[in-house]
Amino acid sequence: MTGAGTWADTADFARLLEANGFSGMLFTETSEVPWMKIAAAAMAAPDLHFSTGIAVAFPRSPMISAAVAWEMAQNTQGRFRLGLGSQVKGHVVRRYSAEFKPAAARLRDYVAAVKACVRAFRGDEQLAHDGPFYQLNYLPAAWSPPRHEFGDVKVDISAVGPLMTRVAGEVADGVHVHPLHSMHYIEHRLLPGVAAGAESANRDPSEVELTIPVFAAPGDTPEDRAALVSRARSQIAFYGSTPNYAFQFDDLGYEGVTPQLGSLIRQGKFEEMAAMITDEMLDDFAVVCRWDELADRLIERYSGTAARLVMYLAEESIHRNPADAGRWGEVARAVRAAS
């Protein structure tokens, strides 16, 4: 997982990852858009696969998202997946000045509109999407992108709660699972929601692939792991302060954690937030172990569930200690071999 950075730095990082056995890179969209960095990475490391995880949907026309994904698919020779998400209301309305509600229904229509554009680009049908939020029916030949042989563009969405997981099952090719997750959540909430959505749309739930970011914090000693463990605690606490994610803690018996975290974040007490994440919580939401245990732990935990695992903290680890690139690479190769 990677985010902000210059094009040159992104290209250098992509070369390093490719040389050390990684499969690909997942680009977030926070302070910077991902598209140019993906292009830089793809040109520097032509064997890697790429995804947005996620690109913010609602501020962009579905046509724009589809056109960018089409171009990415062509120039990576099919090694690109478009990951879309709703983001949260505050960002969409106040930062992007775009419409947000109703988020689940709007994203369902958005994905359908993007896929209609892609079908039109392929020449399968004329553009004729007439949904509750998006209507697209005009694509003159001069404005349709050139056809290519990598037109089966996959469209994934981020999903946490029951409405979005159902939408994913109905219309998406995959789910970007939230980094804040336990296996209890995946097995008892996410997968049943996806299955219900898929069945309502006469789809096979197994067609919906899971891309799962993991808070993995390896190190040969507790001291070696300390920095990544601290970051994992901080991120779990930050995500856990969101009221919509309270059930993740409640389901595991940690009732009342989210309101406490919410109170602390409003006071700016970030160290106290991280301190609330106990070792028991880390076991549920992260993978903390020695380097030589990490691949086996990931395989044991996610085999049969994840199509792709994304190392949330690997970039930070590698920037802190470049020698870690080789160790992460060994893990990547072992996990890929097991799959």
The residue ranges of every structural domain in the chain are 7-219+286-338
DSSP lists the bridge partners of residue 287 as 216
* Regions of the chain where pLDDT drops below 50: none
For residues 264, 266, 269, 272, the Cα torsion angle rounded to the nearest 10 degrees is: 20
Tokens representing residue 310 in the block:
């994304």
What long-range pairs does 91-98 form, CB within 8 A, spacing at least 24? 91/56, 92/56, 92/58, 92/59, 96/56, 96/58, 96/59, 97/59, 98/58, 98/59
Dump the DSSP string for 54-99: -EE-TTS-HHHHHHHHHHHHHHTTS-EEEEEE---HIIIIIIS---
Q: Which of 84, 18, 79 is nearest to 49 (CA)?
A: 79
b/e map of 227-252 (b: 16 or more CB within 10 Å)? Answer: bbbebbbbbbbebbbbeebbebbeeb
Prior bond to 102 cis, omega within 30? yes
Tokens representing residue 308 in the block:
């792709």
Prior bond to 54 cis, omega within 30? yes
DSSP lists the bridge partners of residue 83 as 156
309-to-10, 179, 299 alpha-carbon distances in Å: 20, 11, 10
Helix extents (H) in the chain: 7-19, 35-44, 62-75, 89, 103-122, 162-171, 183-185, 191-200, 222-240, 246-250, 257-266, 270-275, 279-285, 291-302, 314-320, 324-338
Strand-pair category, 49-52 with 80-85: parallel
Tokens representing residue 79 in the block:
């090694």
Global pTM value: 0.96
Burial of 334 per CB tally in 10 Å (0-12, 13-18, 19+): middle
Q: What pLDDT was estimated at residue 4? A: 79
Q: How far is CA 24 from the centre of its chain?
A: 13
Strand-pair category, 49-52 with 55-56: unpaired
Strand-pair category, 129-130 with 135-136: antiparallel
Instruction: Return the axis-axis angle of helices 103-122 and 62-75, rounded to nearest 10°.
Output: 50
Helix extents (H) in 133-212: 162-171, 183-185, 191-200
Distance CA 35, CA 299 (A): 31
Q: How far is CA 59 from the centre of its chain?
A: 18
Please tell me the total number of residues recorded for the chain in this structure: 339
- Domain 7-219+286-338: which topology? TIM Barrel (3.20.20)
Distance CA 194, CA 51 (A): 21
Q: What pLDDT was estimated at residue 258? A: 97
Q: What pLDDT was estimated at residue 111? A: 98
